[in-house]
């Protein structure tokens, strides 16, 4: 579905990604794991048009989408849930969800999809008129994921969805991610909680200083001795 072909990205003179190359098969969960500063978030930004790719290409469903505008990429079926959720705190839950459908021309479709989101996340329906900034961290994460789903993405990019959440809410969020995959979406997951990420991932890549140093199935990566020592606290 998505091919990342030898991409390079930099912040000024600092090379954040160096010739990154990997594939995301349709209908699968692919995890990117690595230490802070490894290039995981930059990779998601490069795919979603938020970071300039200096060389290489991003191919989505056979089309080169390298350096296209973010709204253009969303319209093609890719949604990005950034780290830290980035909700609009002074808007209601409902209005935040409406913003997720900004590329959808038929507003009746947006209304129908938001009703589906409420069905999937009953807590959001209960709080639909509440200011987003007053929600708990877990509720904000649900809303951020729900907002991305309003555009009905085929590929969902998730950046650190468990950050700052209690263990109970982490499990709930990962159940939601698996449910999204079961409904047909493809997911690229960046996650510091390597244990949880590898548990649900079909495939995984380990990044170090902007390069892939290890790849395999989630099970293969989680059983690797070096990965266990570095990321699984074993």
CATH homologous superfamily for the domain 2-231? P-loop containing nucleotide triphosphate hydrolases (3.40.50.300)
Neighbouring residues of 133: CB distance < 8 A, sequence distance ≥ 6:
87, 89, 90
Q: Reply yes or no on whether the pLDDT at 154 is more than 60.
A: yes
pLDDT tens for each residue of 16-38: 999 999 999 999 999 999 988 89
Mean predicted lDDT score pLDDT of the chain: 92
Write down the domain spans for the chain.
Answer: 2-231
Rounded-to-5 percentages of helix, strand, coil across the chain: 40, 25, 35
- Name the pTM for this structure: 0.90
pLDDT tens for each residue of 180-216: 999 899 999 999 889 999 999 999 999 999 999 999 9
Which DSSP state fits 65?
A: -
Give the C-alpha distances (Å, rounded to integers) separating 211 from 29, 32, 151, 160: 20, 11, 31, 19
Instruction: For strands 55-60 and 63-64, give the pairing.
Output: antiparallel
């Amino acid at each position: 579905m998505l091919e990342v072909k030898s991409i390079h990205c930099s912040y000024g003179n600092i090379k954040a990604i160096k010739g990154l190359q990997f594939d995301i098969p349709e209908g699968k969960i692919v995890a990117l794991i690595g230490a802070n500063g490894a290039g995981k978030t930059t990779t998601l930004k490069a795919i979603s048009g938020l970071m300039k790719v200096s060389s290489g290409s991003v191919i989505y469903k056979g089309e080169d989408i390298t350096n296209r505008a973010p709204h253009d990429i969303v319209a093609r079926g890719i949604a990005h849930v950034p780290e830290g959720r980035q909700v609009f705190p002074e808007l209601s839950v409902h209005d935040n969800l409406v913003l997720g459908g900004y590329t959808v021309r038929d507003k009746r479709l947006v209304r129908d999809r938001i009703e589906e989101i409420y069905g999937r996340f009953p807590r959001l329906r209960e709080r639909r008129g509440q200011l987003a900034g007053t929600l708990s961290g877990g509720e904000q994460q649900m809303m951020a994921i729900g907002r991305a789903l309003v555009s009905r993405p085929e590929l969902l990019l998730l950046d650190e969805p468990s950050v700052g959440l209690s263990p109970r809410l982490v499990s709930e969020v990962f159940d939601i991610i698996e449910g999204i995959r079961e409904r047909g979406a493809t997911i690229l997951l960046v996650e510091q909680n390597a244990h949880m990420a590898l548990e649900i991932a079909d495939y995984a890549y380990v990044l170090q200083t902007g390069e892939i140093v290890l790849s395999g199935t989630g099970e293969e990566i989680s059983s690797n001795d070096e990965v266990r020592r570095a990321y699984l606290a074993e």
